[in-house]
Copies of this chain bind each other. A is one copy, B any other.
């Protein structure tokens, strides 16, 4: 039996879904000989923990109560009076996380789950790794932090899992509308290939459901401005579509993949092509003006590039492209007969070329992930580290 003590940071949509999945999968996990034991939950302001992290755990009805508190916009601090848990706030939180990891380091170790969207967690994550704990991330930011921090975090690669950070991610609106699927197993596949000595020399992928949708609609003949405007109305984009069109979200995912392949680069060294010029950026003109007067000015240039691609037998896609000495994000011509070229709607696709996959790539394709499915991916990562929480034969 593997018993995994979990401490969850971040109790937003993904974190709450994770708690729901942990509870609903209990019978399944029991069959598999795994017990997920939640010993603490933090949001950005407070933390609840059980008094005895070595042997006890939160009851499922208490976990559901925590979810409800967060859904209602209330605070964990109100729980102080119930006596069911210890409640911490401010600087106490970090100290308590380390206390818990230290207490567990002489037995099973702690699994720290980061479902927050904070760039501040990286210090704690690295400390937990040093204390023989494991870290599972849905939060991309620690992996896109400067290399000096990144290196510490990934120093024990078996103790760090982050499949969900590589998920082609749709924003929450799109996710709801498309009822999108479980995350694509991109990171796990890359790790398998690398560790078995099949070096990867090229990854090209469409990692934004929003930009995938925009490019395939534009290819169908609709003007760029019209597609973006209607995508915004349909809720397929961020409230300000420039957040999608700028490409920085794709660049963050590209950085995570490039670093997996061993590229020693920072986020600002990635060449990112924005689909609008800087003078139309949020710092220079308001959203309304961008939509009404800016966007239509972009139609002709995009149309010309699509025609030029078509005259080469290609189509235009907004991709991340990682090669040996190259990591770029932007529009590229791809063969219309490739998996990327045949992409339609908001599906995401990743093509991986390696020594074994030299002519035809390994292709992984599917819908981007919403909260539910990001949580499913985090849960799969947690189950994937279970062997580290199982006593070895000699210890049994």
Interface residues of A (CB under 8 A from B): 21, 24-25, 28-29, 32-33, 105-109, 132, 157-158, 163, 178-182, 184-185, 188-189, 192-193, 195-198, 337, 339, 342, 344-345, 347, 354, 356-367, 372-373, 376-377, 379-380, 383-395
Contacts and interface: CB of A to CB of B under 8 A. Distances in A.
Contact of A379 (B132, B197, B337, B361): B197
A114 B363 CA distance: 28
A32 B365 CA distance: 29
A86 to B, nearest CB: 24
Given A106-B394, A197-B379, A391-B392, 18 more contacts: A21-B196, A21-B197, A24-B197, A25-B196, A33-B158, A179-B359, A182-B356, A185-B188, A195-B383, A337-B344, A339-B365, A357-B367, A363-B364, A387-B387, A388-B390, A389-B392, A392-B392, A392-B395
Contacts of A197: 21, 24-25, 28, 376, 379
Interface centre among A337, A365, A373 (most CB of B within 10 A): A365
Contacts of A32: 157, 195
B360 A347 contact: yes
A360 B367 contact: yes
Nearest to A384: B192
A190 to B, nearest CB: 10
A196 B365 contact: no
A157 B29 CA distance: 12
A108 to B, nearest CB: 7
Contact of A364 (B179, B360, B364, B388): B364
A392 B388 contact: yes
Contacts of A339: 339, 365
Contact of A196 (B109, B158, B363, B383): B383
B376 A366 contact: no
Contacts of A357: 181-182, 366-367
A197 B359 CA distance: 36
A362 B393 contact: no
Nearest to A362: B366
A181 B392 contact: no
A379 B192 CA distance: 9
Contact of A380 (B193, B376, B379): B193
B358 A179 contact: yes
Given A394-B106, A394-B395, A181 B28 contact: no
A337 B216 CA distance: 14
B360 A198 contact: no
A20 to B, nearest CB: 10
A360 B349 CA distance: 13
B182 A198 contact: yes
Nearest to A354: B182
Nearest to A375: B196
A393 B107 contact: yes
Contacts of A366: 357, 360-363
Contact of A28 (B106, B195, B362, B394): B195
Nearest to A104: B393
Nearest to A181: B357
